[in-house]
Amino acid sequence: MLNFDFYAPARILFGKDEEKRAGELLKPHAKKVLLHYGGGSIKKSGLYDAVAASLKANGVAFAELGGVKPNPRLSLVHEGIALCKKENADLILAVGGGSVIDSAKAIAMGVYYDGDIWDVYEEGKSIEKALPVAVILTIPAAGSESSGDTVITNEEKQLKYGYGSPRLRPLLSIMNPELFFTLPENQLANGAADMMSHVFERYFTSTTHTDLTDGLCEAVLKTLMKNALLAKKDMKDYDAWSELGFAGTVAHNGLVGMGRRQDWACHNMEHELSAVYDVAHGAGLAVLTPGWMQYVYKDNMGMFVQFAVNVMGVEGSYRDSEAIIQEGVARLRDFFNKMGLPATLSELGIGEDRLEEMAKKATGEAFGRESPIGGLKKLYWQDVLNIYRLVK
Ligand code: NZQ
Ligand code: ZN
C-alpha cells in the first residue's frame, strides 16, 4: 500500500424529500444563491418549483442560470461568472448532474479568478478561493457531488479538461433517489458505465497489499451492476436507485483509490471523444473500457484474473488465466450490452478520420509535450490510437 492523505468532507443528505430542505440548509450559508441547472428536466419534473419554494420560504434570495449542456461549455461558465458578480451571489446551488455541478464549480472559482478561468483547466494553475457550491443531484453518474473535480469543454478549442482542488468539494449534496425516476434509460446506462469506470480507474493497479480497497472496489462494482439491471427493469425502483446513488458517491469520493497507484487512461481517452464529438461520457467509457482491458491485461494478468473471478463471477482452472480473463471481459461487454450501451466508436458516430488527432491530444503529443497516460500500463499516442482502432 502506498502513502496517502485522505480527507473527503462532503456532507450527503440522503433520502426522500430531502430537496425540500434546500432553503433551510442553505440559509445559514447564503443570502443570495445562483440557482444553476440544465436543459429543462428539472422544470418538467417539478423539482425547480419545489426548490424555488423552499428557498423563498426560508428567505434565501436567488438569481438563476439554466441551459447547462452535457459536456458543459466554457461560454456558459463565463456567463455564470458575470451573473454571480452582478447579483452578488454568495453560493451556487447546482440542481442536476455532473455537467451542472461541474459548471457550477467553474463559476465558483471564476468569480475570484483574475483572468479567464480556462487558464486554470489548461495550465493547472492553483486557485486561492471559490464560492461554496451546494448540490441537488438528479442523476447518479459523475460523482461530482462528492468530488473536488470539475470537467469543462472549451467548445472553440474542442478541448475537454478536468481540474481538481479540495476547495471545490461541495458544501453539501442532497440525494433523493426519487429524483432519478424521471431519467431516460440511456442516462441510467451512461451513469452506470461512468460509475463503474471510476472504480476501474482505481482498481486496476500494480500496487500490492491493497486488500481493503480491492474488496471495497469489488463490492461497489457488483452493487452497481446488480442495481443498474434492476433499475432498468423498473425505472421507479427506489431501492435500486438508492444503491446506485450511494455507490456512485463512494466510487468517486476518493476512498476506494487510497494507497493504490491509479490508472485514468480510459477517462483521458474518453474526454477526447466528448471534446470533439460531444458524445455522452459514460457511453464513450463503455466503448473504450473493454478495448483498454484487451490492450493492457498482459501487463498484470493477476489483477485481471481477480476481476474476472471476484467481480464477474467467472469460475475455472486457475492454471488457465488467459481463458478466465477473456471470459471476464466478455461478461463485462455483455453487461454493457444488456444496458443498451454502445460497443463501438462507429455506434457513437465516430469514424477513422480524427482518431490520430485525438490520440495525440490525449497524451499531449499534439502540443509538443507528450506525457504517457495510464498507471497500469503507460500509453503513448500510438497505444491510444491502437485502442481506438480496437473498438472501431
Ligand atoms: O439538462 P437536463 O434537461 O437536466 O437533462 C440532463 C442531461 O441531458 C439529463 N438528466 C439529468 N437528471 C435528469 C435528467 N433527465 C431526466 N430526469 C432527471 N432526473 O441527463 C443528461 C445528462 O446530464 P449530465 O449532467 O451531463 O450527466 P452526468 O452526471 O453523467 O455528467 C456528465 C459530465 O460529468 C463529467 C463528464 O465528463 C461529463 O461532462 N464528469 C465529472 C466528474 C467530476 N466532476 O468529478 C468525473 C467524471 O469522470 C466525469 O468526467
Ligand atoms: Zn467519469
Taking the C-alpha atoms of residue 311 and residue 157, their distance in angstroms, rounded to an integer, is 40
Q: What angle do CA 315, 321, 322 make, to 5 degrees?
A: 110
The ligand that comes nearest to the alpha carbon of residue 71 is 1
- Helix pair angle (281-296, 381-390), 10° resolution: 110
List, chain by chain if needed, residues with CB within 6 Å of any ligand 1 atom.
38-42, 45, 70-72, 96-100, 102, 138-139, 141-144, 147, 149-151, 179-180, 182-183, 187, 190-191, 194, 252, 267, 281-282
The topology (CATH level 3) of 183-390 is: Dehydroquinate synthase-like, alpha domain (1.20.1090)
Q: What confidence tens digit (pLDDT) does each residue in 226-276 have?
A: 999 999 999 999 999 999 999 999 999 999 999 999 999 999 999 999 999
Amino acid at 255: L
Question: Measuring from atom 47 of ligand 1, which residue has the nearest CA?
Answer: 142
Location of C-alpha cell 471495497? 216
Q: Which of 118, 47, 51 is nearest to 81 (CA)?
A: 118
Q: Closest ligand 1 atom, CA of 68?
A: 1
The ligand that comes nearest to the alpha carbon of residue 289 is 2
pLDDT of residue 10: 83
Taking the C-alpha atoms of residue 389 and residue 196, their distance in angstroms, rounded to an integer, is 23
Q: DSSP string covering 17-64, please?
A: TGGGGHHHHHTTT-SEEEEEE-SSHHHHHSHHHHHHHHHHHTT-EEEE
Q: What confidence tens digit (pLDDT) does each residue in 151-208 have?
A: 999 999 999 999 999 999 999 999 999 999 999 999 999 999 999 999 999 999 999 9
pLDDT of residue 187: 98
Q: What pTM was computed for the model?
A: 0.98
**What is the distance in A from the centroid of ligand 2 to the CA of 213?**
19
> Torsion over CA of 270, 272, 274 and 280, rounded to 10 degrees?
-10
CA dihedral sign of residues 275, 384, 146, 281: positive
The domain spans of the chain are 11-179, 183-390
**What is the distance in A from the centroid of ligand 2 to the CA of 154?**
18
Question: Measuring from atom 20 of ligand 1, which residue has the nearest CA?
Answer: 187
Taking the C-alpha atoms of residue 50 and residue 52, their distance in angstroms, rounded to an integer, is 6
DSSP, res 13: E
Location of C-alpha cell 483572468? 115
Are 11-179 and 183-390 the same fold in CATH? Answer: no
Question: Measuring from atom 40 of ligand 1, which residue has the nearest CA?
Answer: 142
319 pLDDT above the threshold of 90: no
Taking the C-alpha atoms of residue 352 and residue 369, their distance in angstroms, rounded to an integer, is 24
**What is the distance in A from the centroid of ligand 1 to the CA of 256?**
22
**What is the distance in A from the centroid of ligand 2 to the CA of 62?**
30
Exposed e or buried b for every residue in 63-78, given b needs 16+ CB within 10 A? bebbbbebbbbbebbb
CATH architecture for the domain at 11-179: 3-Layer(aba) Sandwich (3.40)
